[in-house]
Structure 1
Amino acid sequence: MLSKLRSILTKSIKNKKLNVFGLFFLLAFLILVLSKLSKSYTETLTVGVSFVNLQEDKVLIIDDRPKLKIIVNTYGFNLLGAYFQDNTIAIDLKDDVYISKDSYVWIANRALPNIEKQFSKSFKIESIQPDTLNIPFGTLSVKKVPVKLNSSVTYASGYDTLKGMVLEPDSIKVIGSNTEIKAINHVETSELNLINIKEDISTTIGLKLPDEGHTIKLSQEKITVTAEVQKFTEGTLEIPVVITNLPSDTQINYFPKTIKVSYEVSLNHYKSIKPTDFKIECDYSEIKTSNKSYFTPKLKKVPENVKRIKLKQDKIEYIITE
């Protein structure tokens, strides 16, 4: 069947009379189309509407985007192209409207220069219907809340970060109705998963919209997350114990007099850590009020560039000698 059809088509193409007729028919059709498209027409275009320059503290209260019927005069070529384009115009909520109570009022005549800019110069706008739009809006509340990092980060053996993850910014504005944002105390990031990290971290991560309401929006959609990752090692030092608030008429003997302190520090700062960078105190007032037979040592001073500090002793025994 297919071979017979192919044979008929081949014979038809080889037939010169058919070729000449087809050529003239095609030329006549093209001339007709060109003559039609070169004429001027007045047609109605139905266009959708988008809104720009909406104030940060406002939200539009509309169910459906309005549509406009714009009567234009232009050549057929332009109309043909318009049917294949995205027929949407932007309404500027700063320059094209005025405010009446709780609505933006858009008037076609006032917005005409802006609409003409969105059409080609070959289009002449005859009229726009409707000539007025009332666009109701609500006023939003603004609340600044911290950003909470949602992360799962593991470091390669011996590596860590001293100051942890740094968020920039660490807080953002939540914008919505007062009832919707009242219960929001933070905004979470998208999940950040990093494994076996050995190098500094620098990445951009998105923020998740709260589930509390439909009008809620955020002052920004992304934040940056950075961390300085270094090679760490463990250090140990003997730190003397200091007794504070000891009455002048009381003498005690306590032991041990020093406590070993372990800590983790980057290799870059390992040699700079000294015993004087730490301070361990026991408060005599504590045992006077609690009648304990021992002191509880507390770290009162630590260097900024160490982490995971541990006291090897959690009790200091004592006796009153006088």
Structure 2
Amino acid sequence: MDSEKKQYHSRERINDSVSTSKSGRNDNWIFFTAVFISILFWVLIKLSDPYTVPYTLRINYTNIPKEKRLIYISDSLVNVDVTARGFEILELNLFEDMDVLDINMDNFSLMRKEGEEYYIYSEELREKLAEIVGIQKINVHFSKNTLAFTLADLEEKEVFVTNLIHFEFTEQYGLYEKSIFTPEKVRVFGPANILDTLQQVYTVNKEITNINSDQEIYVKLQNPAPGLLNFDPEEVSFKLRVEKFTASSIEIPIDISGHKQSIKLFPKTVKVHFKLAQKDYNNIRASQFEVVPDLQNINIENAVRLQLKLSKKPAFVRNTTLDPAYVEFLIIK
């Protein structure tokens, strides 16, 4: 009996201990949760407050006019004060590069001071930076009213473009018309001593395959001196008229009406083999072709046979061959 009582009291002490332990853990969890929520609310309140943060930005100019070269940046650094809510400052620091200020010259008015010295108003930059941050421009303050730099004038020369693009068509397809690229000439800006040696510019060396439809392709130009030369434009466009082609032939009489001597040919007809676009197949006529014996620089008295040449054909046929290419003849006296 005493043993059972001891076991009962022991189990009660264990249960009290477990209950106390669980209660302690619950109290700790509630405490840390309350602390976390308090800190979170404090951070949110602080981030809602306005702050003025100073930045020192390095100036980087892009899209310099083709006819100019940037040779010196007088104001290479600028101090900027940005006033915004903490949320906006945090976003700015996380997602924007606040060490460099890129200035696209295409988007700003370039003011000429004297000679080769130019400047832009920081007022225009205030609008750009305010737009990035999402604040009013009155909350952006630059340490300088203008940013100065030096642009040197470049010499100009117009040169032809040479094509290095190779086009490869799928079977039975080809160019219907000669490919053209525009412009055929480009303006090149750079130092006079380099322009004097430049006679032409080249497209990039590239192969375009599996062509079976009309194409308009834009291709970059190779710049032999990227740090010294500017192209305008920097690329050319190719327009390709593409058609499906088929092989065909037509038999016509050999024309000897233009020769002074009376001759008789064997055979009297020739078959002209050619390729043409399928869309032109129904437009082909025998009268569009003319084949004659080639008697130029030939002593007909000593000749054994005469070579034939195609003297007329429609513009839309290609890859022409004659069968036979030579004929025998007899001089009739």
Same fold, judged at TM 0.5 (above): yes
| Superposition pairs of residues 198-217 of structure 1, within 5 angstroms | 200-203=212-215, 205-214=217-226, 215-217=229-231
Secondary structure of the 1:143 match is: strand
Counterpart of 1:141, as a letter, is E
Q: Which runs of 5+ in 2 are unaligned?
A: 1-20
**Which has the larger share of helix?**
2
From 174, 178, 188, give the equivalent of 1:161.
174
What is the TM-score with the length of structure 1 in the denominator? 0.71
What is the CA–CA distance in structure 1 between the aligned matches of 2:104 and 2:86, rounded to whole Å?
27
Aligned to 1:7: none
| Superposition pairs of residues 82-231 of structure 1, within 5 angstroms | 82-86=92-96, 87=98, 88-93=101-106, 95-99=108-112, 100-109=114-123, 112-113=126-127, 115-122=129-136, 124-129=139-144, 131-139=146-154, 141=156, 143=158, 145-146=160-161, 148=163, 150-151=165-166, 153-156=168-171, 159-161=172-174, 163=176, 166-167=179-180, 169=182, 171=184, 173=186, 175-177=188-190, 179=194, 182-188=198-204, 190-194=206-210, 200-203=212-215, 205-214=217-226, 215-217=229-231, 219=233, 221=235, 223=237, 225-231=239-245
Aligned to 1:261: 272
Is 1:36–2:50 an aligned residue pair?
A: no
Is 1:15–2:29 an aligned residue pair?
A: no
Q: Which runs of 5+ in 1 are unaligned?
A: 1-10
From 227, 233, 244, give the equivalent of 2:247.
233
C-alpha spacing 1:291/1:70, structure 2 compared with 1 (3 Å)? farther
Report the RMSD for the aligned CA atoms in angstroms. 4.1
Secondary structure of the 1:210 match is: coil
| Superposition pairs of residues 60-79 of structure 1, within 5 angstroms | 60-61=70-71, 66-79=76-89
- Percent identical pairs in the alignment equals 15
Counterpart of 1:96, as a letter, is S
What is the CA–CA distance in structure 2 between the aligned matches of 1:67 and 1:173, rounded to whole Å?
36
Secondary structure of the 1:212 match is: coil
Secondary structure of the 1:280 match is: strand
- Contact 2:165–2:203 (CA under 8 A) maintained in structure 1: no
Larger Rg computed on CA atoms: 2
C-alpha spacing 1:61/1:270, structure 2 compared with 1 (3 Å)? same
C-alpha spacing 1:251/1:81, structure 2 compared with 1 (3 Å)? closer
- Contact 1:239–1:278 (CA under 8 A) maintained in structure 2: no
C-alpha spacing 1:102/1:238, structure 2 compared with 1 (3 Å)? same
